[in-house]
Structure 1
Amino acid sequence: MSRKAPATPAKSPAAPGRPKDLEKGSAILDAARRLFTTLGFDGASMDQIAAAAGVSKLTVYSHYGDKETLFAEVVKSYCEQQLPASLFEMQPGVPLRDRLLGVARAFFSMIVSSEAVAGHRILCSPRMADSPLPRMFWEAGPQRVQDAFAELLRRRMAVGELEIDDVPRAAAQFFTLLKGEPHAKLMFGCLGAERTEQDTERHLAATVDMFLRAYARR
């Protein structure tokens, strides 16, 4: 008479955790952002980025293909962190002016950060004139933000708060006005230390009010 083999105890499910490739991808983006900010696009090598991320150079290439794509992914990741999708949700209980001011503050805080200033200067260098990088940057960063904001405007139009004939143009105008003179001075290195948070808040509020004078439904 044969004996039955003892039942194999059921394996407990693996503890939840982040997949290894996502952890590596995140480490690569963090390292690339630091090195692009401090060394510039040309100064930061894939070897340096791999070493700073604690991975092999082959791993960097397998995740992002080349340095241009990695730069664009850094831009996209940074924009998503600073301007998350939740920032552009409808939130019908929040007055329109307050919603626009929330977007304005987050956007302005992002574009005056050291990472954004460094990225802007990289793209303005002569070497980038014939490079695909500016277009990749635009699609990964500014275009994504404008598209998300345009959807917010459309939703506010649908409930009768705004009247806009050309929504993409209005979205572009909003962010261009927000950058305005303060951002231009910052890029030229002549934004004085005397500028205060109150100055910034007045600039943002004036921009939002101008936008609403143009597009708020009367």
Structure 2
Amino acid sequence: MTARPSRDRPAAKPAAPAKPAPAQSTPARAAGPGRPKDLGKRAAILEAAKRMFTRLGFDGASMDQIAAEAGVSKLTVYSHFGDKETLFGAAVKSHCETGLPPSLFEARPDIPLRERLLAVARAFYGMITSPEAIAGHRMLCTPQLAGTPLSRLFWEAGPDRVQNAFATLLERRIASGELDIEPRPEAIHRAATQFCVLLKGEPHAMLVFGCGDVDPADIEAHLAASVDMFLRAYATDRNGAPRSSR
């Protein structure tokens, strides 16, 4: 007996032949290993970390709070930075690179030495006197953090990186005959640290101790005087002779 189609359900139509897949002009690219990090989320996490570390200190700021401030999950924060110490170091590095961009240390022989040093001086002073930097300086001087591995992490991510970048700039100006500094790494590094210490001076100490703001005109005079002192110590007359021997 042949079965008849049900009145409630029509007979099934024969399946249409499958359409051939469209030809690809280029072969499909294989997916790379792992999932790429979202740079926008990374930047948001870094900015949130700077705010939270400034506001609450290292111990007071939790990864949960930083994630909420950045608008991401805690898992995303850990995926990008691993732990809070690494995030702190990355935040310090980011702060320094924002305040002192690599372009300030590029080889620009067309820019006079004093003008170049003044540009570095102004950027450096602005970076170290920002609210984030002052809060970080005070935080690392507390008994809870002084002498801990976090202090070394801060030093390597911030001051040491800046001084090394400035030392590279000094090397170029030594090679051009504008500076009379012994071309040994330790001598160049020493000159770089001396420059940074000169720029801090009394105004930075007053801000750290909460003694009030310094007049912008006085800051500019302080920076110019610091640059001139550095040049009196190390500048040549561009003929290779130290100024002190003229």
Q: TM-score, normalised by structure 1?
A: 0.90
Distance (whole Å) between structure 1 residues aligned to residue 21 and residue 179 of structure 2:
72
Indicate which of 172, 184, 197 corresponds to 2:216.
Answer: 197
Indicate which of 116, 122, 126 corresponds to 1:105.
Answer: 122
The question of whether the paired residues in 1 share the 8 Å contact of 2:37 and 2:80 is answered with: no
Partner of 1:184: 205
Distance (whole Å) between structure 1 residues aligned to residue 106 and residue 135 of structure 2:
29
Indicate which of 204, 208, 225 corresponds to 1:206.
Answer: 225
Which stretches in structure 1 are left out of the alignment for 5+ residues?
12-18
* Aligned-pair CA distance for 1:51: 1.0
Which stretches in structure 2 are left out of the alignment for 5+ residues?
1-17, 27-35, 237-241
What letter is aligned with 2:192? Answer: A
* Aligned-pair CA distance for 1:150: 0.4
- Report which of the two has the higher share of helix: 1
Partner of 1:7: 22
Change (3 A) 1:142 1:127: same
Q: What per-residue deviation string (whole Å, max 9, x for no partner) do you get for residues 134-187 of structure 1?
A: 111111111111001001001001010001121000000000010011111111
Greater C-alpha Rg: 2
Q: TM-score, normalised by structure 2?
A: 0.80
Partner of 2:30: none
* Aligned-pair CA distance for 1:4: 8.6
Seq. identity, %: 66
* Aligned-pair CA distance for 1:21: 2.1
* Aligned-pair CA distance for 1:5: 3.1
Change (3 A) 1:210 1:130: closer
Partner of 1:53: 70
* Aligned-pair CA distance for 1:72: 0.7
Distance (whole Å) between structure 1 residues aligned to residue 24 and residue 75 of structure 2:
40
Secondary structure at 2:144 match in 1: helix
More divergent stretch after superposition (52-61 vs 92-101): 52-61
Change (3 A) 1:4 1:59: closer
Change (3 A) 1:135 1:9: same
Q: What per-residue deviation string (whole Å, max 9, x for no partner) do you get for residues 28-77 of structure 1?
A: 11111111111111111111011111222122122112111111100001
Aligned residues: 208
